[in-house]
Amino acid sequence: MSLRGSFPLGLANCTSMVAFDLSNNDFWGPLPTNMSKFIGFLTTLVLSSNNFSGQIPASLSGCKYLNVLNLDHNRFSGQIPPELGLLDRMKTFSVANNLLSGQIPKFENNFTAEDFANNLGLCGEPLDPCSLTFSKRLDPYLIAGSVMFGATIIALVKNGLYSGKGRHDSTRGNEHTYEMHEESRREIVD
């Protein structure tokens, strides 16, 4: 049997709690944006293996005593807040197996690639550099749009060249016609 529901807001009454583990349950929805106000003295926060979603709140950086922050195996999206890199006491950090994207912030401690694994949009140390990651996973709509744009430009240039050639020939034809009219006028005048 597992616990279910959204994040328990009753924790606001537990202001002196130092460790909190809700792992391996069926909690869902976003985390409160003001978490640090009611769990500011936490040293350990483990929310692994749930269905939490939305963005990781930047306010977690207000939990200055955090040593352990495990948010892996959820559905968090967006970027990892850069403010979390300011938590200099953090020894364990994992956001693996989420839907996160963007640059991994700089942390005081060096975390491993496994701590960030299986987030298709994450880049930066300890994963691939952001520019390489982006080029490896180009958006198919961007590729299709670029191909269509290129084809349109080529068609316009090609059409312009044919139109220009036709105009040049028609101008030459007009000059020839003008010369014929001049000769005809001379014959009539003479």
Q: Domain-by-domain residue ranges, the chain?
A: 4-137, 138-190
- Determine the Cα angle at 57 with ends 109 and 128, to 5°: 45
Percent residues over pLDDT 70 in the chain: 74
Q: Which residues contact 77 (CB under 8 A, 6 or more apart)?
A: 53, 54, 55, 98, 99, 100, 101
pTM of the predicted protein model: 0.67
What's the distance, Cα to Cα, between the start and end of the chain in Å?
116
CATH among 3.90.180.10, 3.40.50.920, 3.30.360.10, 3.80.10.10 for 4-137: 3.80.10.10
Judged against a pLDDT cut of 90, whether residue 166 lies above it is answered with: no
AA letter at 148? M
Judged against a pLDDT cut of 60, whether residue 1 lies above it is answered with: no
Burial of 55 from C-beta contacts in 10 A (0-12 / 13-18 / 19+): middle
**Secondary structure E strands in 91-179:** 92-94, 99-103, 121-123
**Mean pLDDT computed over every residue of the chain:** 83
Write down the pLDDT at residue 152. 77
Confidence band of 76 (pLDDT split at 50, 70, 90): very high
Write down the pLDDT at residue 45. 96
| Helix, strand, or coil (residue 14) | coil
Q: Between the ranges 30-44, 66-80, 121-135, where is the mean pLDDT highest?
A: 66-80
Write down the pLDDT at residue 44. 97
Which pairing describes strands 44-46 and 19-21: parallel, antiparallel, or unpaired?
Answer: parallel
Confidence band of 22 (pLDDT split at 50, 70, 90): very high
Distance CA 119, CA 171 (A): 64
Average pLDDT over residues 93-106: 97
Judged against a pLDDT cut of 80, whether residue 74 lies above it is answered with: yes
Judged against a pLDDT cut of 80, whether residue 180 lies above it is answered with: no
